[in-house]
Amino acid sequence: MMNQPINSPQFFLTAPSDCPYLEGQSERKVFTHLVGEKASELNDLLTQGGFRRSQNIAYRPACETCRACVSVRILASEFKPTRSMRRNISVNADLIAAEYHAEPSSEQFKLFRRYLDSRHQSGGMADMSIGDYAMMVEDSHVDSRIIEYRVRTEGDGLQEHPAGELLAVALTDRMSDGLSMVYSFYNPDVTARSLGTYMILDHIERARMLGLPHVYMGYWVKGSRKMEYKTRFQPQEHLMAQGWQRYAP
């Protein structure tokens, strides 16, 4: 572990590796450690500057010949759902979301493995063990939360922890100006619910209720099919050379 003051973090550069989004491209990342008493403040500043968090590391692309990765944040206070999004909210009205401190569980991991085995068999997370998952959730020096989405059952309003079937999970950072969706996963067999979309809509509403202006969505890559969904949530801003700019699809 490295303990760094917020005003002088040390940054490092990874070696080149294959790009997971654009075929034939390679990627490099610049990163620093998020540890110590100022970790949350540093995470805020770096996220606003286009970084993402993974455990106690903040990173952003630093590719030599490509600038395709663009940081995206939704303007929560201005957001208005489309007709299909309102239908999604209605379809999932029987779900209950419960927010906890970032603590892993075997039930979460079982759903996580089911999601990876269905959607990301060849990705960088494909071989993650339960210990790796626990580190992903717990190894954080910032204000991180786990949000569990379950089927509502009788008596949920009377007990501390809802008991219905776990369908989706989001690992989320609460920052001074918004919520950052670090990682989310869901039951891949329940396609009619469009749970990925629902979790984003839920985060927008959570940010609005907390008086936070933004929901940070990570990176969008034009031309990458797996990233197309991110531009559906309007209005939003993209981090360009001139700073955060409103995106016009």
Contact 32, 58 (CB under 8 A): yes
Which backbone phi and psi does 127 adopt, to 5 degrees? -100, 15
Residue 96 structure tokens: 């209950």
SS3 24: coil
CATH of domain 81-205: 3.40.630.30
Q: Pick the closest to residue 189 from 168, 162, 164 (CA basis).
A: 168
Domain boundaries, the chain: 12-69, 81-205
pLDDT tens digits for range 25-61: 889 999 999 998 899 999 999 999 999 999 999 999 9
16 prior amide bond cis, ω within 30: no
Instruction: Give CA–CA dist 190/51, Å, rounded.
Output: 32
- Tell me the pLDDT tens digit for each residue of 123-175: 667 789 999 999 999 999 999 999 999 999 876 665 667 879 999 999 999 99
Asked if the model's pLDDT at residue 7 lies above 80, the reply is: no
Residue 104 to residue 188: CA distance in whole angstroms: 20
Banded pLDDT at 235 (limits 50, 70, 90):
very high
Q: How far apart are CA 156 and CA 164, in angstroms?
A: 8
Q: If you average pLDDT over every residue of the chain, what do you get? A: 91
Its pTM stands at 0.91
Rounded to whole angstroms, the Cα distance separating 151 from 161 reads 12
pLDDT at 155: 67
Tokens, residue 196: 């990925």
